[in-house]
């Protein structure tokens, strides 16, 4: 049986953890980092790289490097590379494969199961897309849980006294705020609110825009037309944001950023924290609405909160921390790494599902209202937002026209009263209704949401018993056929990646042998030198061809020749040594 892990699939960084002796432990990646940049790149030779390696080469390969994929989950947005189209799920699956491979290398056994977190405000389509990404990556997704809830588990809220807590989660691309009721071993989410298009990336963009505008005024050059320059600008903006979390100013220096007829142009300026706060004040202010909404939906005032927990790397920004204190009247808790706590909480929830953690009940909520479209473009709610899940609710509707024998059920998610302003989750038709005047047939529509937040909808004619239902598994914008094809592609690329790794290791060994053999040549006779040199050239040609079999064959031949020559050198050295002793002995007598 394989290992179970908890995964925080983040917008800018991802993290994975596992259970060890009843505790959640973060797994470092192959590069030694505790988090992995959520970046995917396709190199010119077709190789795919993920994480820090992908981020490092972004400047020179900007058109084939993809950031912030999470923001597009559940949409039809696709990117094309080398004639192949990739969905957000497929790009996310590549990141998940990297996390899975690193975890397996660290643990020394296969990783088969995972609990994956999503922002609390993710819609059904975004949750399903995340689950599909796991499936494509070869992971059995045990549960999808909300990030703020996972963070509360990591903070140990299940072990404390009864209390009301707020989790303020500002990550790289999304913002959530959740209010939870903790009662001994039960954590119940009372309300959640947020913005799926607000996060650290937006803070970076504010700095980047400021730098671009300053450079345009100074040099009369528009950097937005230069992809490589913009990547350097964004990289510098992110670095400046991080530095301003602990310093009051930072120097941004970008030499040779552009050029014109007068030569190279450089960018160098000092950015103060005060200026950064001014540039991003509207983003900090945008988090206040969801905070107030979550408190209102939970029926609480800020004074009734016991603690406020900060989650997500962007909560390190001093202005954000000050805003949280101003809104709640409390100093936020920062006694756990905000980049790691979500993965640790996901792992703990996996421990509950696997029976490794006992005595803990987690009650989450659905973030958005669910219902159907009725006559006049009206959105009729069946399940209100912030309802605890799993849940099942039913409501009876009727026909809108005389002698209607079928009805179309248009399933929606959102908060607008106008149906067309909300998000479509799916449609299906109930047929076989008995002919009757409008208003007579009784059609019961039932919504059920499972523990992952995935929706199932059914409709039943109470007179004839005719029944139709839909499980909204395709709301992620990928069909079963597309997912199956993506799974096979992922498996094929995993095999290719493994082959590339073996070739890289073999090339490294061959290069080492090639270099070492040069030192041995100096001690050989002219004839042996020529022979070794010939074999070295044969090995170099095999290395250039990247033919694994040819490399192994030439390595074996060169190694045998070196071993034979080495014996000759050692024997000659021994003979010389014996001669020296004989001479010394005769002189001594």
Active site members: 8, 70, 147, 169
Of residues 144, 133, 141, 150, the one with CA closest to residue 112: 141
Length of the chain: 589
The answer for residues whose C-beta is within 8 angstroms of residue 512's C-beta and 6 or more apart is none
Structure tokens at 227: 């992809």
Of residues 162, 87, 55, 171, the one with CA closest to residue 121: 171
User: Contact, 176 vs 192, CB < 8 A?
Assistant: yes
Distances in Å between the alpha carbon of 210 and those of 106, 204, 269, 318? 42, 10, 11, 20
Of residues 173, 178, 176, 129, the one with CA closest to residue 152: 178
Answer whether the bond into residue 390 is a cis peptide, omega within 30°.
yes
Q: Determine the Cα–Cα distance for residues 230 and 224; give it in Å rounded to an integer.
A: 6
User: Contact, 78 vs 486, CB < 8 A?
Assistant: no
User: Contact, 402 vs 437, CB < 8 A?
Assistant: yes
Q: Determine the Cα–Cα distance for residues 475 and 483; give it in Å rounded to an integer.
A: 13
Q: Is the alpha carbon torsion for 374, 375, 379, 380 positive or negative?
A: negative
**What number of other Cβ atoms are within 10 A of residue 487's Cβ?**
17
Q: Is the alpha carbon torsion for 394, 398, 404, 410 positive or negative?
A: negative
User: Contact, 211 vs 236, CB < 8 A?
Assistant: yes
Euclidean distance between the first and the last CA atom of the chain, given in angstroms as a whole number: 77
Q: List, as one string, the DSSP characters of 496-531.
A: HHHHHHHHHHHHHHHHHHHHHHHHHHTTS-HHHHHH
């Amino acid at each position: 049986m394989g290992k179970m892990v908890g995964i925080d699939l983040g917008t800018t960084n991802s993290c994975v953890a596992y259970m060890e002796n009843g505790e959640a432990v973060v797994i470092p990646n192959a590069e030694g980092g505790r988090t992995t940049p959520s970046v995917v790149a396709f190199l010119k030779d077709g190789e795919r790289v993920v994480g820090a390696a992908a981020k490092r080469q972004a400047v020179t390969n900007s058109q084939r490097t993809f950031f912030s994929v999470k923001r597009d989950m559940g949409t039809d947005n696709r990117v094309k590379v080398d004639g192949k189209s990739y969905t957000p799920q497929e790009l996310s699956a590549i990141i998940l494969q990297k996390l899975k491979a690193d975890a397996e290398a660290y643990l020394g056994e296969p990783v088969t199961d995972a609990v994956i977190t999503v922002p609390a405000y993710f819609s059904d389509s975004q949750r399903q897309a995340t689950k599909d990404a796991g499936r494509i990556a070869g992971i059995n997704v045990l549960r999808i849980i909300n990030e703020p809830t996972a963070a509360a588990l990591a903070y140990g809220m299940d072990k404390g006294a009864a209390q009301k807590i707020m989790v303020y989660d500002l990550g790289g691309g999304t913002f959530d705020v959740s209010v939870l009721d903790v009662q001994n071993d039960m954590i119940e989410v009372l309300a959640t609110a947020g913005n799926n298009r607000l996060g650290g990336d937006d803070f970076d963009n504010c700095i980047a825009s400021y730098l671009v505008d300053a450079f345009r005024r100074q040099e009369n050059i528009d950097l937005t037309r230069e992809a490589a320059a913009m990547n350097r600008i964004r990289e510098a903006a992110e670095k400046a944001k991080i530095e301003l979390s602990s310093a009051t100013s930072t120097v941004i220096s970008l030499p040779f950023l552009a050029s014109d007829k007068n030569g190279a142009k450089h960018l160098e300026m000092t950015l103060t924290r005060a200026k950064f706060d001014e540039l991003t004040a509207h983003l900090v202010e945008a988090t206040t609405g969801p905070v107030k909404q979550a408190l209102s939906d939970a029926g609480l005032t800020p004074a009734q909160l016991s603690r406020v927990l900060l989650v997500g790397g962007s909560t390190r920004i001093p202005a954000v921390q000050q805003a949280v204190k101003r809104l709640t009247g409390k100093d936020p808790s920062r006694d756990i790494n905000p980049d790691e706590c979500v993965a640790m909480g996901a792992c703990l929830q996996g421990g509950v599902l696997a029976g490794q953690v006992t005595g803990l009940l987690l009650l989450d909520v659905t973030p958005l209202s669910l219902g159907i479209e009725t006559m006049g473009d009206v959105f009729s709610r069946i399940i209100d937002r912030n309802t605890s899940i799993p849940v099942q609710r039913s409501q009876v509707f009727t026909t809108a026209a005389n002698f209607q024998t079928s009805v179309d059920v248009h399933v929606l998610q959102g908060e607008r009263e106008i149906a067309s302003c909300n998000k479509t989750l799916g449609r299906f038709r109930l047929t076989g209704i008995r002919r009757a005047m409008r208003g007579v047939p009784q059609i019961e529509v039932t919504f059920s949401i499972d523990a992952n937040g995935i929706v199932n909808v059914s409709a039943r004619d109470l007179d004839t018993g005719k029944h139709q239902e839909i499980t909204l598994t395709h709301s992620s914008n990928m069909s079963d056929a597309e997912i199956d094809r993506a799974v096979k592609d992922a498996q094929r690329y995993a095999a290719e990646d493994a082959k590339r790794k073996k070739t890289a290791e073999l090339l490294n060994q061959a290069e080492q042998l090639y270099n070492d053999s040069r030192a041995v040549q100096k001690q050989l006779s002219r004839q042996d030198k020529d022979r070794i040199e010939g074999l070295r050239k044969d090995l170099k040609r095999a290395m250039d061809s990247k033919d694994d079999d040819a490399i192994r064959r030439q390595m074996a031949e060169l190694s045998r020749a070196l071993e034979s020559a080495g014996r000759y050198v050692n024997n000659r050295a021994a003979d010389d040594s014996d001669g020296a002793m004989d001479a010394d002995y005769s002189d001594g007598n």
